[in-house]
Structure 1
Amino acid sequence: MEAAAAIGAVASIAGPVIEGVGGYRAGQYNNRVAKLNARNALSEGRAEEEQLRMQGRQIIGEQLARQAEGGGSIGTGTALDALVDSQVSLEMDALNIRRKAQLGAASMRQQGALAKMEGEYKLIGGAVKAVAAGANYAGSQ
Structure 2
Amino acid sequence: MAEDGDCTPTDEVRDLAPKVDYHSNPMVDLPLLMVQLTRFSCGRLCVGVAISHTLADGLAAIQFIKSWAKLARGDRLEDKDLPFLDRTVLNSSELPMAPRFEHTELKEFRTLYGPHTMSEKMKETSVTLLRLTKEQVEKLKKKANEDGLSSES
TM-score normalised by the chain length of structure 1: 0.20
Larger Rg: 1
* Structure number with higher strand proportion: 2
* Structure number with higher helix proportion: 1
